[in-house]
Structure 1
Amino acid sequence: MDSKFTVYDSRGELDLRQIANSGQCFRLKEYATDKFIAVTGSHAVDIHRRGDVYIFWCDAKEFQAVWAPYFDLDTDYKGFKSKMQDDPFLKDALKTGGGIRILRQDLWEMAVTFTISQRNNIPRIAQSVEALCENFGTPLREIGGRQVYAFPTADQLLWPDLSVASLGYREPYIKGLCSQGDTVWQSLPNLDDAQAKKKLLDMKGIGEKVANCIMLFGLHRMDSYPRDVWVNRLIDDVYHGDFDPGKYAGFAGYVQQLQFYYYRNKTFSF
């Protein structure tokens, strides 16, 4: 374990277990009770929880440069929450998932993982992502007695047979993403929402739901509101088929995560 650490008091505004189970990420894992591994880019960190306090086993410089942005710690989620109080379902959702934040994740990783997510479930997606990392990613370090790998680059995924990850019909789509070239992924953050979404939809294998997931979780475009089978079901069930995410301009994606997490949690226990 690293000798340097950084203490973050979340004051109830961050809950890594909730985030890990929210469906937005597949590389934040609780490897033992209140002990988490987080991986982004070439960085991995061991995080321990003590009530509302999180101990990041890294120095303050890395915490400020990597993990504070990753967990979106400078965004005022209390302000978002104050604007949800007229919706009974969202008020209840905040009691269950109020520690969720929208992570600022790697765009390339989100493009691949949410292409894998189509017509798939969270446990299988996580297994496929882990198989890609273990077989093709660069080793980073050991945490909790296990080797941690970076998410593989496009070059690392382009030529090998990826069948070990059980991607099925999605494998050609992943290969197509690998062939896009770095310029495409570098340009997307500089485009406005409409332009970025159009460029994503032009890629084979990326439809409306996947594009919105990449927009929200890879580009942090908070007006994106992904709709999958769970969200469609809750809109029919809770809102009688009539829900306008535009009411929550600037944080509709956060609303979606709360709805998704709470509705699934009501349906079956994590």
Structure 2
Amino acid sequence: MAVRTTDWRKLPVTLTELCINTTLRCGQSFRWRKSAEDEWSCAIHGRILSLRQDPECLHYRAIFPTTSVPSPPPSTSPSATPSITPDKDDTLALVKHYFNLSTNLGQLYEQWASVDPNFKKRAPKFAGVRILRQDPWETLIGFICSSNNHISRISTMVSNLCLHYGPLIGHIDGVPYHDFPTPETLAKPEVEAHLSKLGFGYRAKYIYKTAVMVAEKGDGLDWLDGLCNPESPAFGKDFGEAGEWTETGREGYRKAHQELLALHGVGPKVADCVCLMGLGWSESVPVDTHVWQIAQRDYRFGKGKNSGLTAATYNAVANHFRRLWGKEAGWAHSVLFTADLKAFSERLVSKAEVKEEATKIKVEDDVAIAENTIKGRKATTKTIKRADKEEEHNVLEAEEKTVRRRSKRLKT
């Protein structure tokens, strides 16, 4: 297929403000893949966006299709990707918007560290973790796939969704890149059975039924956009900057969360993930079993009767973090969530290493104790031997005195 590729361009941004190797792998988005050494690529908004990073700059380029391209089978009525002419290249605006670059992350880290010793302890090795502003529809379906799942398998599912139902944008080194499918495409009757064959399990039904519900609204994507934080514009609108938090916005978050719960496969955690990463509600704090473990380990939750993750403890943890970290609580939560992921274990001292070090220290202590014990025993033995000799000498001396006395008596 014919494509147009832009030159590599650069955007000044330090690793303190954005680290793509962490942000793109920490369970927010599931479609980025390594297209080359230290290069990430994803089909997004009608283009393939590729990213590289050095300590001072984010480098980006875009590959655009020059003609509309239909989705591959099994979709019978595929959506098409519109042509984008050079004068409509909004890639820079998209990059700034997608990575929320209007927010000063360094200042936020300092703020969170000043009120939370645990954050201060864990965050330094995980600088540059930003909350993405993703497409709400993609975020919704991605997190329906996340139910009782891990990042690698979620990524495989989302990749299959795009491969079978999304419009083809282009190729990099022969690898196809498909954009995300529309609600109408996933609302077709054959989709549920096909997704089941692809290994989606019970999530196949949730994806299909949610797609039907959104598609039947007529203005489904507009409905989702309407749930966005108005101070954090949704994709498809102008790429804008976030404003200050307001009490009206707080009510908007509650409304968005409640409306999402009406969709199939959407519980409190999935709704909060969509609110935070797709709708721009930064106070949203998703609490899954992983975050519950963090709350138990580091924030003294789970004592007494409230030892499990229930609706009550879910709200208690989320509200505690909101009070602790403020209006961007969801951002701070994601830093600690990332710090605990196994995928980043090489950046931390692992439990095995801690155990090994503790064992080493114990062995060294045991050796020292043993050495001291041996030295003590040797010293004690010497003392005993010396005492024995002294006792033997005293006995002999006493016997000699007795003999001398007897001899003296005999002479007299």
Report the TM-score, using the length of structure 1 for normalisation. 0.91
**What SS does the aligned partner of 1:168 have?**
coil
Q: Whole-Å Cα distance in 2 between the matches of residues 252 and 144 of structure 1?
A: 40
Task: Give the structure 1 partner of residue 119 of structure 2.
Answer: 90
Task: Give the structure 1 partner of residue 11 of structure 2.
Answer: 8
On the 8 A contact 1:127/1:165 being kept in 2, the answer is: no
Q: Which of 321, 330, 333 is equivalent to 1:245?
A: 321
On the 8 A contact 1:129/1:165 being kept in 2, the answer is: no
Query: CA shift at 1:30, angstroms?
Result: 2.7
Which stretches of structure 1, 4 residues or more, deviate above 6 A after TM superposition? none
Matches within 5 A, 1:1-270: 2-12=5-15, 13-58=17-62, 61-86=89-114, 87-159=116-188, 160=191, 161-180=194-213, 181=215, 182-191=218-227, 192-241=252-301, 244-246=320-322, 247-265=324-342, 268-269=345-346
1:202-224 superposed Cα distances (whole Å, 9 cap, x missing partner): 11221010000011111011000
Query: CA shift at 1:144, angstroms?
Result: 4.5
On the 8 A contact 1:72/1:103 being kept in 2, the answer is: yes
**What SS does the aligned partner of 1:142 have?**
strand
On the 8 A contact 1:173/1:205 being kept in 2, the answer is: yes
The letter for the 1-side match of 2:9 is: T
Change (3 A) 1:171 1:135: same
Query: CA shift at 1:136, angstroms?
Result: 1.2
Task: Give the structure 1 partner of residue 309 of structure 2.
Answer: none
**What SS does the aligned partner of 1:198 have?**
helix
Query: CA shift at 1:35, angstroms?
Result: 0.7
Q: What is the identity percentage for the equivalent residue pairs of Structure 1 and Structure 2?
A: 26
Change (3 A) 1:144 1:50: farther
Query: CA shift at 1:47, angstroms?
Result: 1.5
Residues matched between the structures, number: 270
Q: Which runs of 5+ in 1 are unaligned?
A: none
Query: CA shift at 1:5, angstroms?
Result: 2.6
Query: CA shift at 1:234, angstroms?
Result: 0.8
On the 8 A contact 2:166/2:180 being kept in 1, the answer is: yes
**What SS does the aligned partner of 1:48 have?**
strand
Q: Whole-Å Cα distance in 1 between the matches of residues 10 and 121 of structure 2?
A: 30
Change (3 A) 1:80 1:39: farther
On the 8 A contact 1:27/1:38 being kept in 2, the answer is: yes
Change (3 A) 1:2 1:250: same
Change (3 A) 1:163 1:269: farther
The letter for the 2-side match of 1:99 is: G
1:48-71 superposed Cα distances (whole Å, 9 cap, x missing partner): 223332211148952333111011
Q: Whole-Å Cα distance in 2 between the matches of residues 114 and 168 of structure 1?
A: 14
**What SS does the aligned partner of 2:134 have?**
coil
On the 8 A contact 2:43/2:169 being kept in 1, the answer is: no
Q: Whole-Å Cα distance in 1 between the matches of residues 122 and 283 of structure 2?
A: 19
The letter for the 2-side match of 1:187 is: W
The letter for the 2-side match of 1:174 is: I
Q: Whole-Å Cα distance in 2 between the matches of residues 128 and 101 of structure 1?
A: 24
Query: CA shift at 1:3, angstroms?
Result: 4.4
CA RMSD of aligned residues (A): 2.2
After alignment, is 85-94 or 116-125 more displaced? 85-94
**What SS does the aligned partner of 1:57 have?**
strand
On the 8 A contact 2:284/2:330 being kept in 1, the answer is: yes
On the 8 A contact 2:6/2:61 being kept in 1, the answer is: yes
